[in-house]
Structure 1
Amino acid sequence: MADVATTVAPLVRRLLGGALPVRLEAWDGSHAGPDVPRGAEALIDDAAAETGHLTIVVRSPDALRRMLFAPGELGMARAYVAGDIDIDGDIFALLDLRHRLGAAGDHVRVGPSLTDIGAVVGILRRLGALGRPLPAPEEEQRRRGRRHSRRRDASAVRHHYDVGNDFYDLVLGPALTYSCAYWGDGVDDLETAQRAKHELVCRKLGLAEGMRVLDVGCGWGSFVIHAARHHGVDAVGITLSPEQADGARARVAEAGLEDRVEIRLQDYRDVTDPPFDAVASVGMFEHVGAAEADTYAAAMAALLVPGGRLLNHAISRPDPHADAGIHARSFIGRYVFPDSALHEVGQVVSALQGAGLEVRDLESLREHYARTLRAWVANLQGDWARAQRLVGPGRARTWRLYMAGSAVAFEAHRISVHQVLAVRPHADGTSAFPATREWLARPLVADGTGGAVGG
């Protein structure tokens, strides 16, 4: 019988649409690809030089069985999360082969399609490894109940966020901010870039002493702490994650801001104590769902005083004709953000204006998010053993794959991220919104004085 790598290599070559630009190692110790002498079975080309040290390790025939019974990216994701496939080397280099891998949509799509199934069956037969379907890894989730009911939304959020605050501290660093940072000139560390993002949001919202501010999806409280400390506002932060709420309250107390900041475990649809002078929604809109955008926009508008501003910061799809919803059988839909949706930014603008708000400013931060994600992956990989101890190998692998894949998708403009700033007009149509963008003229980098310049 031929060795496993030689048997499997033609399938990998077929998936890549050419030669084998990465090294392939199999569970029997065989290998193919770079570092193998050139020849009919080596399947090597000059593209290998561009990937650096990169090896795909197939640790078990279970990897092929998972691909057989779940064609497309879901089967490949299951194999990686379960440890049946491993990546030795630069994961970004592998994911950057997306064009050869048939990438489409919002994230890298890998794995055999239905047309490749015959080849997979043939390989499994030759290897004597055909068998029954395997159970999905425990990290995979299927939601139950009515989509976007309060109960199901809370369950989806907790699946992603309630994995331990220590794990997020490791990945996100001291800023503990789970959204796109703002990498201005001269900014080269994640914590400073996140402070600059908080200050950018404060500037856009026009925050001033004594204002009442709502942060929808407040995470671990970083923005409300910044806004209260540097702009003198009274802030309310809401989240559906009990672990986030506990962590945010502890950080608010540590900052000595309990008299200015309140953290609630609450759905945005259940906020019953408006009005607010400003509402920040940063990295939350993705959880709202494809059919709920108008409900969300109406709720945000109702929370604001006349003249009050909303900052909606959300990942978006470039294609206005694409379905906003994340496919239920995708890696992201099953493992990362169940029931999530990415709206095209024009649709976001239309929803907000349909709710009576006036959109006054729009900014893309696409490149900023790619850099942020690379920083998070560096944090994760830099303390990989501890990450696995904290959340288990499967979940650590899930986060590595999703964050690296997302970085590549942002860089390729397959997804984007926008801040949309809107205001609720007064009855006469006026809003007192500045006519120029001079309010963004000052640098956002901290000056070390603790003043309201991002510090």
Structure 2
Amino acid sequence: MADAASRLTALAEDVLGASIPVRLRAWDGSEAGPAGGPVLVVRDRRALRRLLWKPGELGLARAWVAGEIDVEGDLYEVLDKLAGFIWERGEESRSALETVRDPKVRAAAKALLRLAGPLPPPKPPVEEIRGRSGARHSRRRDKQAISHHYDVGNDFYELVLGPSMVYSCAYWTEGGTLEDAQRDKLDLIARKLRLKEGDRLLDVGCGWGSMAIHAAKEYGARVVGITLSREQAAFARKRIAEEGLTDRIEIRVQDYRDVVDGPFDAISSIGMAEHVGAVQYREYADILYRLLKPGGRLLNHQIARRPEADEDAYQVDAFIDAYVFPDGELSPMGSTLTTLEEAGFEVRDVESIREHYALTLRRWVDNLEREWDRAVRATSPGRARIWRLYMAASAVSFERNRIGVNQFLAVKTPAGGGSGLPLRPRAWTESA
């Protein structure tokens, strides 16, 4: 067992055929790899047993959530170096880690078993989603997935998100605060939708009510907000009552497929479509189209992934699926645009704000790290570790253009062809 770090590093480099870009410290105190930067720490050899039983991302995720793997120093630097190392080496290197048919992997697994010990793997951390029932993206299963992610305590989300309570990409200007950037994002959406006094707005996936409050308070809209999270709905209703807006805003715990009281003048869907799923996306677009009156506008704000060479081979991120967004799926930007058009929408504008999400995520991580002890008390050590890793890793993914985020402005253009939008493109960037 002596010098476990060197042995682990040699095993990894033999499989991957290149030097590991970060320093490693093992449970026996030994270290290996480049000095002078952050250190990836394997605190307990149980982490190796998790990797043996679940090679790849899920095994690593379980070890991280359990605290068996950690980082000393700059988490972003470690994630950036490891991400670049894996992505720049291509899919073959990534898949090699997950197949026992590779002779090098078989030999490495045997050596890893000697380091890990012949014991069964520990149970997965309790924060991992269990017992998903029903067909993927059925109403019942979607409700379970939303509850897993959002019903973890409003106190926790207040610590991470800050006073704005907006859980989607902010819209930044130089030197602005997170609250400024989130207000500017909500206002940008309201202006793109050309909201005005008396307009009826449907906010799909309304979260803690921030968009609904902004639309009603600043633009005089009448808003229906829907969410599948009871905790979000309770929090939103309390905020709305405190703002004196109960006569203008209704918050429902309701599936978008069950909304029947259209038509609406406008629909906002901000960070919700990622939960819909590829098999349901056309139905989602059809329903939103049907709920709009002729000339009505849709603002669809959605994270996108890069297209795969073989789309049929696309796989959902194992860590995200098990611990963060169960059953969540990302689509390429082009697929979203095509589906909206197939549903009948005229897509009038697409704005990419990828870099804005990296900035937003870094601020959320800052909030979490600053309030770490309170966040752990509000949820659990494992849950706090999940959110820190997923937000930091997502920031790196946005920065490296692995994923993006886009706002689609689409219109249910009436038969006469008048969209009701201004002649000059991007007029919403001007002062209201």
CA distance in 2, matches of 1:301, 1:314: 17
Aligned equivalent of 1:95, options 54, 79, 84: 79
Of stretches 423-432 and 364-373 in structure 1, the one that deviates more from structure 2 is 423-432
Going from structure 1 to structure 2, the CA distance change for 1:407 and 1:253 (only over 3 Å counts) comes to same
CA drift of 1:388 comes to 1.4
Q: Determine helix, strand or coil for the equivalent of 2:179.
A: helix
In 2 relative to 1, CA 154–105 (structure 1 residues): closer, same or farther, beyond 3 Å? farther
Give me the whole-angstrom Cα distance separating, in 2, the residues matched to 1:407 and 1:132.
35
Which residue identity lines up with residue 146 of structure 1 in the other structure? A
Find out whether 1:216 has 2:200 as its counterpart. Answer: no
Aligned to 2:170: 181
Deviation sequence 1:307-329 (CA, Å, 0-9, x none)? 11000000012216554997357
Aligned counterpart, 2:138: 149
Distance 1:329 1:200 in 2: 31
Contact 1:71/1:117, CA 8 A, preserved across alignment: no
Amino acid at match of 1:402: Y
Q: Say which is worse superposed, 266-275 or 324-333, in terms of deviation.
A: 324-333
Structure 1 residue 365: deviation in Å?
A: 0.7
Contact kept, 8 Å, 1:275 with 1:303, in 2: the verdict is yes
Task: Tell me the distance in 1 between the aligned counterparts of 2:176 and 2:146.
Answer: 31
Unaligned runs of 5+ in 2: none
Paired position in structure 2 for 1:59: 43
Give 1:347 shift. 1.3
Q: Find the residue that maps to 1:210 and give its secondary structure.
A: coil
Is the 8 Å Cα contact of residues 46 and 121 (structure 2) preserved in structure 1?
no
Of 98, 119, 125, the match for 1:113:
98
SS in 1 for 2:195: coil
Q: 1:191 to 1:15 in 2, by over 3 A?
A: farther
- Kindly tell me: are residues 8 and 32 of structure 1, through their superposed partners in 2, closer, same or farther at Cα, counting changes over 3 Å? same
Distance 2:24 2:367 in 1: 27
Displacement after TM superposition at 1:411 (Å): 0.8
Larger helix percent = 2
> 2:15, 2:240 → 1: CA distance?
50
State whether structure 2 residue 353 is matched by structure 1 residue 353. Answer: no
C-alpha distance in 2 between matches for 1:177 and 1:111 = 39
2-side partners of 1:327 and 1:285: how far apart?
Answer: 18
Partners of 2:200 and 2:222 within 8 A in 1: yes
Aligned pair 1:135/2:100, yes or no?
Answer: no
Who is 2:56 aligned against? 72
Q: Over aligned residues, Cα RMSD in angstroms?
A: 2.3
Structure 2 counterparts to residues 423-438 of structure 1, below 5 A:
423-437=411-425
Residue 447 of structure 1 corresponds to: none
Report if aligned partners of 1:68, 1:117 keep a CA contact under 8 Å in 2: no
More displaced stretch, 316-325 vs 145-154: 316-325
Structure 1 residue 105, shift from structure 2 partner: 9.7
Contact 1:327 1:333 in 2 (8 A): no
Runs (5+) with no aligned partner, structure 1 = 34-43, 444-452
Match of 2:28 in 1: 28
Match of 2:322 among 334, 339, 349: 334
Count how many residue pairs are aligned between Structure 1 and Structure 2.
Answer: 425
Q: What are the within-5 Å matches in structure 2 for residues 35-434 of structure 1?
A: 44=34, 48-49=35-36, 52=37, 54-97=38-81, 98-102=83-87, 112-114=97-99, 115=102, 116-125=105-114, 127=115, 129-142=117-130, 143-184=132-173, 186-319=174-307, 321=309, 323=311, 327=315, 330-434=318-422
Conserved? CA contact 2:316–2:329, under 8 Å: no
Q: CA deviation at 1:110?
A: 10
* Counterpart Cα distance in 1 of 2:323 and 2:28: 30
State the one-letter code of the partner of 2:160.
V
Residue number in structure 1 paired with 2:6: 6
Determine if contact 1:175/1:222 at 8 Å carries over to the other structure.
Answer: yes
TM-score, reference length from structure 1: 0.88
